[in-house]
Amino acid sequence: MTIIQYLCLYIQHLERTIISLVGFIAKYIPLGQLAFDGLNSPAYQKFKTDRLPIIRKFEKQDWQFLQEYYRWKYGKPVSPIKRRGESTVPESTVCFRCGAPHQYIYDNTGGRGSYLCKVCSCVFASGEKVTRPLTLVCPYCEHVLQPKKDRKHFTVHKCVNKSCRYYLENLKKLPAGLPKSEYHIYKLHYIYREFNIDFFKVDLNSIPDRAFSFTFRTQSSHIMGLCLAYHVNLGLPLRKTALAMREIHNVKISHAMVANYAKAAAAVIKPLVDNFDYKTSDTFIADEKYIKVKGKKGFVWFVMDALSRSIIGYRVSDNRAVGACILAMRMAFRKSKQLPERFRFIADGYSAYPLAAQQFALQEENPLHFEITQVLGLTNDDAVSAEFRPYKQIIERLNRTFNSSYRTTCGYDNFDGANYSVSLWVAYYNFLRPHPVTGFKPLNRIDHLDNADTMQTKWQLLIFLGQQTILQMASK
């Protein structure tokens, strides 16, 4: 038997094996079950952000004016109600929207306190008063949303209509044979989170508490620059920085003084970093990572430009809520009055990013309308993740670079220390660190730093430029 004949027989054997396996799959693994796997699973609905509700504003009307309008349009006004029996509507009842008297009010529920105005078609309860100017309505069935849960920064509104199209479609996606007692595991109803705090009025230029002054009694600004170079550039902890200053430069300095130097430098350099005119492109990338603060979880949010690789937004928070995400995105959009035509904001599958994008679109002044392109999981299970995975890898590489300096600290002692440490690291990353993408030069060029030969001199110049930025901000 020749090799060709042997290969042909082997191919025929593989074909018969494949056919038998396909028959086994079709018989014992119904394709209907595959519809609930991965992204189509109803369990994944919890991580999706529903679209914005319909917002209806309350407008006070005059029933006599409406009568004249009906007379002009239809040739006759709205006639009073002709009741077949005794009226169940009290004479003191008037429509709270247009003020129509009880002669134009229907008993909508047979004496249970709900009424319908014949003039303006408003449904209201007895004794109801307007407590809020806006009404949130489900975008699928136009049913008024009901407040269900009060959280720290937002209220959860829910559509309780059992005939809602959104609810009925999610019911069809549930696994077959699932008991009703387990329906609560999945997200079936339309929900909307109404935030009680305006994160767009939070000051982004706050200075860390207990910032140290620049009055040097025993040392100098040169020693401060050396401490920053060891602590930030080389990633040495505070005690090792003090040890290096003592054993290499014969400068006796405590680790507490190094921490004070870092706090003071962060307070001055942060306005320069945050207000620098970054040349941004039409693609932003965002991600969040865990840190440890006194043994508890904290989070650092990063927003970077995909083309320049600069960090244009960052925030340290003690929780993973949407508030810190909005503040980091506000920093990134600080100077953006209008977004590019093909703008993309790429993030992971966390629901905070779509919620933040909704809040940007709801702003009355300079609203920004954009969608979040979400790269899900670690594998390319869908076309969007396969296309934008390289962008996600860029910010994952940023996280690994941050970890190289963060791991040496073994976590932060408090959030003030975490804030000044991250601020200094972002300044180093954007203006001092050499990057392969720019030919091992800093990402952003500052003329004052071109003639500086040593890193301690560059830190002193950044402090000087930060002081100038603060004076310019104070003069405005």
Residue 219 has pLDDT above 80, yes or no: no
What are the angstrom distances between the C-alpha of 408 and each of 105, 129, 427?
73, 60, 19
Strand segments, DSSP code E, in 101-167 are 105-107, 114-117, 123-125, 134-137, 146-150, 154-158
Rounded CA separation 228/225 (Å): 5
The DSSP annotation for 334-396 comes to TT-SS--TT-EEEE-S-THHHHHHHHHHT-SSS-----EEE--SSS--SHHHHHHHHHHHHHH
pLDDT per position as a tens digit, 427-445: 999 999 999 988 999 999 9
pLDDT per position as a tens digit, 156-187: 899 999 999 999 988 888 888 888 888 888 88
The pTM of this model reads 0.71
In terms of CATH, what superfamily is 272-475? Ribonuclease H-like superfamily/Ribonuclease H (3.30.420.10)
Residue 85 has pLDDT above 50, yes or no: yes
Give me the residue spans of the domains in the chain.
38-55+133-196, 59-125, 272-475
With bands split at pLDDT 50, 70 and 90, how would you rate the model's confidence at 34? Answer: very low
Residue 62 has pLDDT above 80, yes or no: yes
